[in-house]
Structure 1
């Protein structure tokens, strides 16, 4: 099931493949050349197998045949025995498609799932055993030093989630938010967004509080986007209440069109029209 935690972690690992490479070199000593080209490639790995297989993400490093390396990224939030059958297919399909070595990285925010994902998978062929490379709470330290976070942004962002229950989570998030200021503002804002949606409870509230401080430029942009979202939500609620009070019937499609609109100017226009129209068709005209 797709969740904010799942999507946040996928976003972090695919936002900048170079930062992800730095994390993977630090955790698993993967032979990813430092100066190699990096890109996100299609994660639909169905071409070489009869059934559809789609990984969470697939990254390709290197531009020379001798240095190319494929990395499949999977986010696991719980045990899923079916993955023990499909993960090897992911590797085989990407390997055949891009003609390069491929490894599997599984990110697990909790220890129980990380232990499950770390188990060797016997394929049945002598000598061919798949042992996933697992990123979890036990091999991602709590990074509270800003310089260390700057040195490995990808790892710092993932660690903020895998260590979200750590007693020093406030210090971890403070170091991360300051370290993000070393990046392009657009990239920094997206990292902050992915981390925020992936966190839960008090950790998420602390990250939201830090984002509202507007100490750095990217935080100001993030806070502005949150305010715009909040304003849009308010306009949607008022518009729906007004239409209901006037007895203007809405189909499920009409309601969805209104509730999914994030354009404040358009919502304001609809609100102005709502006082004059008698049908929803006139509202959207």
Structure 2
């Protein structure tokens, strides 16, 4: 199942294709800024039924080096099958478009980033026919942008910095700087970055801080993040109301049961008194009389029977006025 961080880590490059050239300097390469960018279909499926999709695919054109393809993959954890898939992607794209193909893998933890940047060859050791070694962006090389002015200079890079450092201790400072920088940004620029950042943080503790910062610094923002908070609050309120209603109903039911118990106890006591009086008077008590008295639950009727039990000549006559 595709997670929000997975989507944020690669879709941010669709939002701003020029981001790759700005990120490249942190990866040890110098990629010129594109003068034109085109989003290409991500479906790399051939005629056979095997389906293969790259996360994001862009055609970037530069003034000095010409066009090239950028495939962006979001990787949340180590996966032994991924290097082979990446080799297929790059070889297929090179064959289909006849353009140089760059592969960028975006991670959120050091272990996955270290694994992803290791070169993997598909041939024997002495014949490395095809070697895959993607560029990797993650917490190990993405900048920690804690200065609002620095964040304001490149808001998209600051958002990516927050996403790639989502599990790092310094993410709180990055989020504070980003929210401050976004205060002065036009709404159409700030909105997608707020959403990318929220998706990238997913269920990590830092997302609560981002919510609070958005609520204070960016009160205009009313997208899914606000709706998500509203849904959670609604759920909490519903749970509280249900608990209150249960408590009220429980109290009512308890009172009803207690009243029934008192009536049953009173009825049992009067039934015992009726039979005791009849026995003390030496009257014969047939089984049907005894059963009728003990099974009666009407307190008023039992009271009348009790009064008659004192004077009737026969036990059966206790019921004559019933």
Q: TM-score, normalised by structure 2?
A: 0.63
Q: CA, structure 1 residues 114+99, in 2 after alignment: closer, same or farther (shift >3 Å)? A: same
**1:132 maps to what in 2?**
134
1:216-239 per-residue CA deviation (whole Å, 9 max, x = no partner) reads: xxx23324655556667859x99x
Q: 2: distance between equivalents of 1:226 and 1:165?
A: 19
More displaced stretch, 186-195 vs 46-55: 46-55
Give the Cα separation in 2 of the matches to 1:28 and 1:183: 30
Cα pair 2:108 2:139 within 8 Å, conserved: yes
CA offset at residue 112 of structure 1?
Answer: 1.0
Closer/same/farther in 2, CA of residues 224 and 64 from structure 1, 3 Å limit: closer
Residue matched to 1:22: 22
Query: Aligned in 2, Cα 1:91/1:181: closer, same or farther, shift over 3 Å?
Result: farther
Alpha-carbon displacement from aligned partner over 1:10-47 (angstroms, at most 9, x marks no partner): 23222111234322344343433x25101321111224
Tell me which of 164, 181, 203 is aligned to 1:162.
164
For this pair of structures, how many residues does the alignment match? 232
2:205 pairs with 1:202: yes
Shift of 1:179: 2.7
Aligned residue in 1 for 2:188: 186
**Aligned residue in 1 for 2:95:** 96
Q: CA RMSD in A?
A: 2.9
Aligned match of 1:31: 31
Change in Cα spacing, 1:25 to 1:69, as seen in structure 2 (3 Å) is: farther
SS at match of 1:179: helix
Name the SS of the counterpart of 2:103 in structure 1: strand
- Within the alignment, does 1:212 sit opposite 2:212 as a pair? no
| Separation of aligned partners in 1, 2:215 and 2:163 | 19
Instruction: Answer yes or no: is 1:70 the counterpart of 2:73.
Output: no
TM, length-normalised to structure 1:
0.71
Does the 8 A contact of 2:108 with 2:164 survive in 1?
Answer: yes
- Pair 224,53 (structure 1): closer, same or farther in 2 beyond 3 Å: closer
Aligned to 2:52: 53
For the 8 Å contact 2:145–2:158, the answer to whether it is kept is yes
Residue 27 of structure 1: SS of its match in structure 2?
Answer: coil
Distance 2:171 2:95 in 1: 42
CA contact (8 A) 1:59 1:70 kept: yes
Cα gap change, 1:151 to 1:63, in 2 (>3 Å): same
Q: Which runs of 5 or more structure 2 residues have no equivalent in the other structure?
A: 239-322
- 1:14–1:20: 8 Å Cα contact kept in structure 2? no
Hey, what does 1:256 align to over in structure 2?
Answer: none
Would you say 1:8 and 2:11 are equivalent positions?
A: no
Give 5+ residue unaligned stretches, structure 1.
Answer: 239-285
